[in-house]
């Protein structure tokens, strides 16, 4: 989990390689969350993509002292699923 926080922090600084690692290591779990929320594989894929766009844009606001990485990501994807 420390790696996820590290990748998220680096993504917030514009590090595309860290963002790629974050995507590779979290997208399967986050896709399952999207699928559970939406019960539609096509919508879940679209929300997964939209959620990662939001993560890229908002990761500069991530503070590892205030939030664990996975709960922060889960909230981001839950918001994306509601939009």
CATH code of the domain in which 52 resides: 1.10.1740.10
Q: Where in the sequence is the domain holding 27, given as residue range(s)?
A: 2-8+16-82
**Residues in the chain, pLDDT under 70:** 1
How many C-beta atoms surround the C-beta of residue 70 within 10 A?
15
Number of domains the chain contains: 1
**pLDDT at residue number 83:** 85
DSSP designation for 60: G
**DSSP alpha helix (H) spans, 1-83:** 2-12, 16-38, 41-58, 69-82
Q: Give the pTM.
A: 0.92
* Integer Cα distance of 81 and 21 in angstroms: 23
Enter the tokens of residue 32: 């399952």
């Amino acid at each position: 989990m420390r790696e996820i926080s590290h990748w998220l922090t680096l993504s917030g600084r514009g590090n595309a390689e860290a963002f790629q690692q974050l995507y590779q290591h979290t997208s399967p779990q986050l896709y399952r969350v999207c699928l559970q929320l939406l019960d539609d594989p096509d919508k879940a894929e679209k929300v997964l993509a939209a959620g990662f766009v939001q993560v890229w844009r908002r990761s500069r606001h991530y503070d590892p002292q205030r939030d664990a990485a996975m709960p922060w990501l889960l909230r981001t994807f839950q918001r994306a699923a509601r939009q």
